Amino acid sequence: MSNKMWGGRFETGPDAIMEEINASIGFDQRLYAQDIAGSKAHASMLAAKGIIDKADAEKIVAGLDTILSEIDAGDFTFQRALEDIHMNIESRLAVLLGPAAGRLHTARSRNDQVATDFRLYVRDTIDTLDAQFKDLQKALVEKALVHSGTVMPGFTHLQTAQPVTFGHHLLAYVEMLGRDRGRFRDARARLNECPLGAAALAGTSFPIDRFATAKALGFDRPTANSLDSVSDRDFVLETLAAASIAAMHLSRFAEEIVIWTSPLTGLLKLSDRFTTGSSIMPQKRNPDAAELVRAKIGRIAGAFSGLLMVMKGLALAYAKDMQEDKEGAFDALSTLSLMIAATSGMVRDMVPDEKRMKDAAGSGYSTATDLADWLVRVLGLPFREAHHVTGRIVALAAGRDVALHKLSLADMQEVEPRITNEVFGVLSVAKSVASRVSYGGTAPKNVRAQAKRWLKQLDKPA
Ligand code: ARG
């Protein structure tokens, strides 16, 4: 049998392989709520403009509500022979209403329908992700406030560089997530135009009101070019690009968690709730959640580049290639959601080992820069000379295998005779971080001020 929806000029139905490669119902059934919302708005508009009967429109809307509850309740049989979510719903509507159902597809096409559904879906997903990002930021800020004065080693090249505070380190991620939220917000603002009514590609001869359907669906306005309306997937690409960057941030943080929880550093403990054991080595506490957060960026960036390849070189307007926009995006966006949830859980439960952090912060001559700065500030040495003098003092300490502050004043004066006892005041890690008061610096009082600024901002209603 040929297809009920478009089989008028066909004699036989599709080959099984044709059906298999063509069907999207296996994945686009996720769009059912958006598809029904779009159809309801369309039917009401058609009636308001006198294009279909009010009575038919009412029946259609009621029928669509019935279908929505059937699908919500798991009482709906999706059929692969009906290809996609649009035709599955329309075909069920025909069973419920008879011929009146056939009026719904006046002045629209699956091309503008799917573009509308997917925009609505991505918009909803961005809103959910934004709430999750905000929750993660809150977890980080609260932890940062508790640890505004907890000293830890700061790294460059993963080599101990200068002491920083744990709170300061956590707030770095709050900044990143703030930019991530901004990128999603920007993408959302650009996607919020309604393609419905562009029909197959050229618009329609029916006197439709695209402004009304756009408004009913919460869009700012209708899209302005019918060809662009059905062939554009920028809104998916932008969202996946934002998701890839956000996932990269979470991956970096996850890597740090892996390093910090390794017995090699022992800087951090994760809770039992976010660690796993080994089936053979009873002592193990593996940071699996962090490792998976570190890894899952692969599928998100993969979905982004996959869709970019699908869209590349596609002549206008709609082509079936574009059906390949969904699976990767669905997977990527739900993966990101899980990554954020796991990261929030780890952050809320994580406990730094403050003693180990402080000891590690003081190792590797991390206050050498403080010594050089002291030579500049107090003795008036040019920085380059101070750097050289400090280097010789570090070499002296290294030769004796002691920390900088364990050298005697006489030892230091051998290198630079004008050094006084006052120098010991800057060599401790606590003094070092407390002195970094430049805007954006790691001093505990800066960290507290930044954390409070963020808390205020996060508590503001959206
Ligand atoms: N399932 C299709 C998709 O996801 C819907 C649009 C189909 N349009 C068409 N002309 N065959 O892209």
pLDDT tens column, 104-147: 999 999 999 999 999 999 999 999 999 999 999 999 999 999 99
Q: Is the CB of 367 under 6 A from ligand 1?
A: no
Q: Name the one residue in this structure whose structure tokens are 């003094």.
A: 431
How many whole angstroms from 6 Cα to the centroid of ligand 1? 12
Q: Is the CB of 134 under 6 A from ligand 1?
A: no
91 given a catalytic annotation: no
Q: What is the reported pLDDT for 277?
A: 83
Residue 118 CA: which ligand 1 atom is closest? 4
Give the separation between CA 136 and CA 348, rounded to whole angstroms. 9
Residue 1 has pLDDT above 70, yes or no: no
Substitution candidate for ligand 1 out of 84, 232, 330 with most atoms within 8 A of CB? 84
Residues 191/121, Cβ–Cβ less than 8 Å: no
86 given a catalytic annotation: no
Per-residue burial over 157-175, b = 16 or more CB atoms within 10 Å of its CB, e = otherwise: eeebebbbbbbbbbbbbbe
Residue 326 CA: which ligand 1 atom is closest? 4
Q: Is the CB of 231 under 6 A from ligand 1?
A: no
Residue 320 CA: which ligand 1 atom is closest? 12
Residues 425/378, Cβ–Cβ less than 8 Å: no
Structure confidence at residue 232 as a pLDDT band (50, 70, 90): very high
- Each residue of 35-68: pLDDT tens digit? 999 999 999 999 999 999 999 999 999 999 999 9
How many whole angstroms from 39 Cα to the centroid of ligand 1? 16
Q: Is the CB of 56 under 6 A from ligand 1?
A: no
Give the separation between CA 168 and CA 163, rounded to whole angstroms. 11
- Each residue of 173-217: pLDDT tens digit? 999 999 999 999 999 999 999 999 999 999 999 999 999 999 999
Residue 281 has pLDDT above 90, yes or no: no
Structure confidence at residue 8 as a pLDDT band (50, 70, 90): confident
Q: Is the CB of 110 under 6 A from ligand 1?
A: yes
Give the separation between CA 334 and CA 239, rounded to whole angstroms. 12
Average pLDDT over the chain, rounded to an integer? 96
How many whole angstroms from 166 Cα to the centroid of ligand 1? 51
Residues 67/96, Cβ–Cβ less than 8 Å: yes
pTM of the model: 0.94
Residues 6+ apart with CB under 8 A from 336: 129, 243, 246, 247, 300
**Catalytic member of 69, 262, 271, 278:** 278
